[in-house]
Amino acid sequence: MMKIKIAVPSKGRISEPSINILEKAGLGLIDKNNRKLISKTFNENIEVMFARASDIPEFVNDGVADIGITGVDLIKESESEVIELIDLRFGQTKLVLAAPEESDINTVKDITNEMKVATEFPVLTEKYLQEKGLNLKIVKLSGSTEAAPFIGIADMITDLTSTGTTLKMNHLKIIDTILDSSIKLIANPNSLEEKKELIEAVSTSIKGVLDASRKKLIMMNVDSEDLDKIKKVMPSMGGLTISEVLSDKKTVAVQAVIDEKKVFELVNDLRNAGARDILVVPIERII
């Protein structure tokens, strides 16, 4: 059977969440405490390759890895030709244009072509400026972008932010949002065609983990005479599962998958409707 490599960030804020989601999908690393460049997983046909998050789009584009986990910002910046399979629902951030709080730049209309902008994302920044009809000099940096306006390198910056707190701490204000980003599972187009079965198995398992993350399995015992009342208050993803309980009094066991945010109020409603022995259980995957 064909084998695939999954490129995963070797360090940084998205590394551990990426590894965790693979483990929950059944692709745990065999030697996770002695991390190497390539690590085997519980599936003999699937290996994990560790790389810088910024390199992963290129690796997947070139076929060095068949699939990978990285941010939309890095995919767009590298202009890699990859297929986005799943939004992994973590690492939400945005690329913004920001200027010093005391500057006269408050909107895009205040920007002139004589100004400079510093960034770690020159490709995305240039595309944004072109869309706005601006032709600014772009100063490419590899870090400490926030300092650029205060040491005379640039008038503005473009940078990633999640909450805006770091920008405020550095006395910068957001002028505009260039790109909303999150973490994606991506695939090489050729690999997706040639190794479709195995790649789809991985993406299906990961999607199952994501679908289960906001759900709970709720189980309870109910006297048969109270079952109609339970049905009225019980939401369900795919209908209730009802089975007979062997007891002196006619009793049924009821279970259903529900949204996590409904658990608190629902448990009280079920108890008042006659449910007992209520269990709320986490779900690992929903396929």
How far is Cα 262 from Cα 32, in angstroms, rounded to an integer? 36
Fold agreement (93-181, 215-282): no
The yes-or-no verdict on residue 148 having pLDDT over 80 is yes
Sequence-distant (6+) residues with CB within 8 A of 180 are 72, 92, 94
Nearest in space to 165 (alpha carbons), one of 106, 93, 90, 110: 93
Per-residue model confidence (pLDDT) at position 239: 80
Under DSSP, the state recorded for 41 is B
Q: Detail the DSSP E strand segments found in the chain.
A: 4-9, 38-40, 46-51, 67-71, 83-87, 93-100, 116-119, 137-140, 156-161, 172-181, 183-187, 215-223, 241-245, 251-259, 275-282
One-letter amino acid for residue 19 of the chain: I
Q: What are residue 219's phi and psi, to 5 degrees?
A: -130, 150
Asked: is 93-181 a CATH 3.10.580.10 domain? The reply is: no
pLDDT value at 226 more than 80: yes
40: left (phi over 0), alpha (psi -120 to 50) or beta: beta
pLDDT above 70 (res 200): yes
Q: How confident is the model at residue 248 (pLDDT cuts 50, 70, 90)?
A: confident
- Please give the pLDDT value at position 1: 65
CB–CB of 95/160 below 8 Å?
Answer: yes
Q: Is 142 helix (H, G, I), strand (E, B) or coil?
A: coil
Domain coordinates of the chain in residue numbers? 4-90+183-212, 93-181, 215-282
Q: How many helices (H) and strands (E) does the chain have?
A: 9, 15
What's the pTM? 0.86
Does CATH place domain 215-282 in 3.40.50.300? Answer: no
pLDDT at 46: 96
- The single-letter code of the amino acid at 66 is D
- In this predicted structure, what is the pLDDT of residue 130? 96
Q: Which two tokens stand for residue 151?
A: 């040491």
Q: Is the pLDDT of residue 35 over 80?
A: no
CATH of segment(s) 4-90+183-212: 3.40.190.10
Q: How far, in Å, CA of 29 to CA of 6, rounded?
A: 12
Sheet containing strand 241-245, edge to edge, reads 241-245, 251-259, 215-223, 275-282
Closest CA to 91 of 63, 124, 56: 56
Paired tokens of 226: 């109270």
Question: Residues 180, 94: contact at Cβ < 8 Å?
Answer: yes
Longest CA–CA separation in the chain, Å: 86
Q: What are 84-119's pLDDT values in tens digits?
A: 999 999 999 999 999 999 999 999 999 999 999 999
Q: Is the pLDDT of residue 238 over 90?
A: no
